[in-house]
Chain A
Amino acid sequence: MLDKEAVKKLLASQKAFNSVPPIAAPIIAMANRPDTSIKKLSAIIEKDKELSARLLKIVNSGFYGLKNKVETVRHAVVLLGWNATKMIALGSSVLSRMCTTDRRLFNHSMRTAQIARFLATEASFYKVEEIAVVGLLHDFGIMMFELFYPERYAKIRQFAIDQQVPIYIAEQELTGVDHADIGGWTLEEWNLPENITESVACHHSFDPTTYHAKKTAVIHVADILALATDYKGPSWEKVPELSHSALKILGFSESDLRDILLTIMKMKYEPIIL
């Protein structure tokens, strides 16, 4: 069995350090300085050509639906905001790895981001770009799981296939934690605010009484709708139960859901390569 302390120790280790780009350290340090500005953050990112290219690809990808192409890092940073930029900067190496080694998970993450952005707009959130990036990283814990425990994760996947259960149930059965926990702990390690860590950590255990339940509800609903509408996905990947209270907290009725499904099934999804 795994626990938070053991995983946190790994997250602070060299192995985890290698999974984030060298630029991570100055970006994390910047967050704690009073003189931090968008201009300074942009300047740091611009020094890393690979990261700059990934950031622009994500911002210009279909799920943002922007009318005009974003050409500069500074414009992208202004559009995304501080936390979303930080998440992309720190998560870019793992996202890029996901894109090449687990394309299906990457496509699911992109699709969840697109749906999260739509739901957040419908529910009148004001930081929809940030929520889209949380959607992009919501299954980050799966990649960390695979990175830290590759043999154990193969057994987890086998268990999910044999028992016909969602992957997070298999993770909980075999290790006592799930990828949502590990994703949340990773974001905690990166000093991201609690509303973001909670929405990743609790996307499979939605609780309407928590302080940041509304944001978590967006990720929970977006994740399940992405799975539910992925009719081309593998049959062993199981759709988990959608929480009624998550829909309710976002102000959606059950009958609204049919219209939402129609809209998202009509949405174009253009895959990108990071």
Chain B
Amino acid sequence: MPLIKLDSAQHGDILASDLVINEVVLFESGTVLTSERLEILKSLGISSVNLEDRTKSRYSSKQDFLINIDRRFSYVEDKPFMMTIKAWVKDILSNLRGKSE
């Protein structure tokens, strides 16, 4: 998601990249913006933030999708059947999106 104005950010939005001020990481990528954190950013004069898109994916290529599937299945890595399901999803996706991509 492109940078958006802080005024448009909402409680519950998630930072898509580290928020750095004067070479210090204030909030890391993946931080959930609470109303309290939004107030802090306002008081520091931050005008825009890089947020995870609420509607669209930030992944675009087949390779991105395959890596993303691995990440989304990380909680069940020690479950053999879930790993089989993951392999099927990746295989089906590869076939549906074409080998050439």
Contacts and interface: CB of A to CB of B under 8 A. Distances in A.
Contact of A231 (B68, B79, B85): B68
Question: What secondary structure prevails in chain A residues at the interface with B?
Answer: helix
A228 interface: yes
B10 interface: yes
Interface string B79-101: 10110111011001100100000
Contacts of B31: 158
A241 B88 contact: no
Interface in A218-264: 227-242, 244, 254, 257-258, 261-262
A52 to B, nearest CB: 26
B89 A265 contact: yes
A92 B58 CA distance: 29
B32 interface: yes
Given A102-B54, A228-B86, A153 B75 contact: no
A140 B34 CA distance: 21
Contacts of A232: 57, 59, 65, 68
A231 B54 contact: no
Contact of B85 (A155, A158, A165, A261): A261
Interface residues of A, number: 41
A258 B10 contact: no
Contacts of B73: 228, 238-239
Contacts of A262: 92
Interface of B: 10-12, 14, 30-36, 52, 54-55, 57, 59, 65-66, 68-69, 71-76, 79, 81-82, 84-86, 88-89, 92-93, 96
Interface of A: 101-104, 146, 150-151, 153-155, 157-158, 161-162, 164-166, 227-242, 244, 254, 257-258, 261-262, 265-266
